[in-house]
Structure formats: structure tokens, C-alpha cells
Amino acid sequence: MPNPTFYNLPPEKRELITTVAIDEFYEKGYEKTSIAKIIDKAKIPRGSFYQYFEDKNDLYRYLIIEVIGARKHQYSAHLSNLKELSFFDYIRHLFLSGIQFYRDYPKLASIAIDFMSIRDKELRIIILGESQKKADDYFIQYINERKDDGEIVNSLDTSTLVYFIHSMNQTLANFFLDHGKTFEDDHLVQQVNNMISILENGIKPLEGENIGKNEEI
């Protein structure tokens, strides 16, 4: 995380450095982002940068933490009745609030999605530390509680369900990046509802259900 010298900067200077860094990571992605470019665009001496951050990973971690903070703030602001929601309504809210986050903070969302696709496990641990494990542990506990309530079949492997929902979230994020600007919110909401329906009902026909050739294209 940033050194105290970064937080001692005037707010407008901190904002400039942060904005430039967001633009660079948004446009280039983690691998191709250059500290030299950030230093040049923010108009700060190279030595000063390393008084603020240890390296590119340190700056990147700062931005990811900013993303997580913004996401949590928006999510919490729209959800005060978690215990009252069904499991599937909770997942639906999670996805829909994600869409709103993509709408409100497109650059931060893009950086987050890029980070989610990084395969360097060591880097992910460096960036997130224990926060991802804590989030997963919380979600696992939540699912197990819903199993105890009889809302989710008890024989279902919890870890697999967590992975599956993460994968759905990644798919939705990529879909939004590819199509979000061209689709109305109603269409995106329908995509979420379709995904939740598959999660809730599966794809195997129910006993006695009429099975025939689907004429839809």
C-alpha cells in the first residue's frame, strides 16, 4: 500500500496520480502498464514515485483495494436485508449490483475484470493477501447456512458451487465489457435472470415435461 508520503500530498496531486494510474491500467492492462508512462503523465520525478509506492505491484494493489472499496460501498448501500432474501435473490442482487458498478465506474470495473483473469496466483496473493480467502470463507458459511435451512440440497459440494458462481460472475463481467454499452438495462437484467434460472432449476427436463425440437434460433 502507499507510503505515508503519498497521503501527505495535496488531495489534487493524489487524485492526479490515481487518475493517471487508473487510465494506464484501464488502457494497457497490468502486464503492459508502464510506470515510466505514469510518471511522465502525472508530471512527477521518478524518485518521488518510489517515495509513494514500492513498485508497480504496490500501485496496482492500491487501485484494486480502491475498486473493492467502491464495490463494497455500492453493494452495501443497496442491501440491508440480506437475511430476508432467498439465496437466489441474493445472487441476483449480487449480479445486478455488479452491472450497476460497471455502469458507474467503467474504468475501475475493467481493471477489476482484468485482475480476475490474471493467472499468476502469487501475484493475486500479493495483491489481495487474505481478503479473497476471507470473502470465500464468508460465502461458504452463507451457503452452508442455506443448506441447513433446506434451501439448497445438502449433498451439493459447497466449494464447487462457490467456484461456479464466481465463473458466472466472470462471464457476466466479460459479457458486459463486450456488449454492455449496446444493451439496455432491461436486456442485461434478463441475462442475469436467465443465469439465475439455470442455477436454480438446472437444464435437465423435469419428469413429465414435454421434450421436443426447439424451433428457436
Q: How far apart, in Å, are the Cα atoms of 206 and each of 65, 182, 201?
A: 44, 36, 9
The pLDDT of residue 41 is above 60: yes
CB 124 within 8 A of CB 118: yes
84 and 43 together in one domain? no
pLDDT above 70 coverage of the chain, percent = 84
Residue 149: which domain range?
Answer: 77-201
Q: How far apart are CA 208 and CA 10, in angstroms?
A: 69
Condensed to tens digits (0 to 9), the pLDDT of residues 150-173 reads: 889 888 899 999 888 888 887 877
CA angle, 188 as apex, 199 and 186 as ends, to 5°? 120
In this prediction, residues 8-25 reach a mean pLDDT of 93
138 phi and psi angles, rounded to 5 deg: -65, -45
147 and 86 together in one domain? yes
Q: How far apart are CA 144 and CA 165, in angstroms?
A: 15
Which CATH number do you get for residue 98? 1.10.357.10
Question: Does the residue 212 lie in any domain?
Answer: no
pLDDT at 217: 40
Cα pseudo-dihedral 79, 82, 85, 89, rounded to 10:
60
154 and 108 together in one domain? yes
Which CATH number do you get for residue 11? 1.10.10.60
Q: How far apart are CA 66 and CA 70, in angstroms?
A: 6
pLDDT at 77: 59
pTM: 0.72
6 and 38 together in one domain? yes
pLDDT at 36: 94
C-alpha cell belonging to residue 123: 501475484
pLDDT at 105: 85
Condensed to tens digits (0 to 9), the pLDDT of residues 68-83 reads: 777 777 666 555 566 6
Q: Residue 206: pLDDT band by 50, 70, 90 thresholds?
A: low
